Every structure is written in C-alpha cells, then in structure tokens.
Structure 1
C-alpha cells in the first residue's frame, strides 16, 4: 500500500534533510529514488545542488526532471515494487520551472495544468505502489511578493501545496530544523 508524506518548510528550515532522513527510515535499507527538480541557474544554485547531492547516500538513484517527474520516472524504468520510496525535492522547484516554462499563460490555465501534474504524480505513486516523500516550501508565512511573477508563484505554490496536502497521508512542517506533524498518518 503506497503513501505520500508532504514535508513543508521555509528556505533553509531543514526540510530537505528531514525528508532525506524520513525517506531512508521508510526505505529501511531498500532503494530510494531521489527525484530532483532543481536546475542550475547560477553559482549559488550549483552549490546548493552539490550540498544536497553530497548529503545523499551513494546508493540512492537520482532522476532529474525539472518539468515532468512522472515522465522521467517512467522513462527510467521505475516499475511496481522496484523502489519502496520516491523522494521528490522539490515541489516548489517544479512549480517554479513550470511557471517559467509557461510564462505568459493565463493564470487559471497554468494553475489547472500544474494541479493536474501534481495529481498525476500522486496517482503514479499509487500506480507503482511506492511510498513518496515530497518536499515543498511553505509560502504562507512569507511577505507578499513585490513583483507580479513572485505573487503568481506564491499563489500557485500555495494552491499546489494545498492540493498535495489533501491527497497525502501525512504532512510535516519543519520549523528551524524541528519537524512538527500537521497531518497524521491514517491508522
């Protein structure tokens, strides 16, 4: 039986490290597939991605996909039972990439497309009978962005986080490195 655990937190809150530990615990020595949505846009982002790579066990398989994680997982041959845990890091990176890829698209159309992609990911997890840990930034505690693109990102990610949280078995908010359970696993 598959499950999805959403891990939310602010920038540098410790959410990725917590999610990695959680994925390793769930996997219990079995394979973990790390689904990376980040893209190198500058030296700082390259360093951030390098730190994430260095922290992961060498036995974990990485599937990189900034726009279509489900398609990339299918292409990599992930099948039912072949990986007990998928770790998607991060939902906000994926949303940001989609926003940039579809710049100029009507907001409601972009929202429908993005929410549909998130639903397909959740369905895929169930289809291959895997467990998944999904990392995303919580934008609800930040200031409203000063740019139109920033506000569109915040609104879209807030909607996507709500959609993901509604379909998950558990939600944890990481605050200053401390995990706070928001939605418990169902019995």
Structure 2
C-alpha cells in the first residue's frame, strides 16, 4: 500500500468500500477517521450502516473539523481511512472556518505521516452547473480541495460503479 491514496467518485460509486479494503489490506486492522456529524436520523442511519459494514479490525475517531490534528494523533502503525473530505469541507464551510487554509494544512500534513492514509472524497464537478450561489461555491471549493489533496497523494483512484480506475500512478510527473 502506498503512503497516501485519494479515492474519488460519485455518490454510491463504491468509494468507501474500496477505501476500507485498501486500509485493511496491510494488516487487517485500521483507524477510521469519520468527518460526518449525526445531525439527523438519516445521517445516524448512514453512520450505523458504515460501522456495521466495517466490522472488527477498526478503531474509530471522529474529526468533523480538526482532521490534521486527528491524523497526527493517530499516526503510527495502522493505516488510517478518512471518510470523507467532502463532509469535512461542508463542516468547515458551515462553521465559518478558513476551509482553504485547512485544505492546505491537510496537503502539507500528508507527507509527514508515517502510517498510510486513504482519503475518500466526492467528485462533484461532473454534473451541471448548480443554479444557486452557495451550491456553486461548494462545488468550486470541493474542486479546489480535491485537486490540492490529489497533488499531495501518491495515488488517486476514481471509483465508478464499484470499479476502481487508477488516475494517478506513482511514476508520473507533470
């Protein structure tokens, strides 16, 4: 497993399942860093489904805002899975935090991690242009964050219908 891997794709494209397999492939145990907050019943159900699917072998941490601090605190032997950057970005934007500075800090933190990190994010730029300002701002912010983190990662995969496509091999320099 490479040191840092970004997995992107559309909703329900198999990103999380792929990330879980990659994170567990090294030793059968991993750290799950959740960025979601259970603000309603539907999100609580989603979180419960994710936990049930993962099963044993996982140590869970919640990082709705302080993702870099949580990565640093959990660095060690076990791979970490961050699910997902899109929710993290949402949390940052809703809290009024400087999301661009936080994204830059995350990109700078990845090379110093000693244990592997697998990050999941949504690809939001493949659809139509949103019809309202907030949605366009979010789409643009997510695009910037995804590009910034992809640049910092060793590998990038696009998940389509549960099938991973490697889009950034480790031997390409541009």
The two structures have a TM-score, normalised by structure 1, of 0.83
Distance 2:93 2:43 in 1: 18
Query: What is the CA distance between 1:176 and its match in structure 2?
Result: 1.2
Decide whether the 8 Å contact of 1:2 with 1:130 is kept in 2.
no
Match of 1:114 among 99, 102, 127: 102
Residue 180, structure 1, aligned to residue 165, structure 2: yes
Runs of 4 or more consecutive aligned structure 1 residues displaced over 3 Å after TM superposition: none
For each residue in 1:89-146, what CA deviation from the matched residue of structure 2 results, as whole angstroms up to 9, or x when unmatched? 00101111001001xx7xxxx4532322322441xxx434111110000012122222
In structure 1, list runs of 5 or more residues that go unmatched.
none
Partner of 1:43: 41
Give the root-mean-square deviation of aligned CA atoms. Answer: 2.1
Aligned 1:20-99 pairs, distance under 5 A: 20-25=20-25, 27-29=26-28, 31-74=29-72, 77-79=73-75, 82-99=76-93
Distance 2:134 2:156 in 1: 27
Partner of 1:19: 19
Distance 1:68 1:120 in 2: 14
Distance 2:123 2:113 in 1: 28
Q: How many residues align?
A: 172
Q: State the SS of the aligned residue for 1:146.
A: coil
Query: What is the CA distance between 1:156 and its match in structure 2?
Result: 0.4
Q: Which stretch shows the higher mean deviation, 142-151 or 43-52? A: 142-151
Distance 1:119 1:19 in 2: 19
In structure 2, list runs of 5 or more residues that go unmatched.
none
The two structures have a TM-score, normalised by structure 2, of 0.89
Query: What is the CA distance between 1:186 and its match in structure 2?
Result: 3.7
Query: What is the CA distance between 1:2 and its match in structure 2?
Result: 6.5
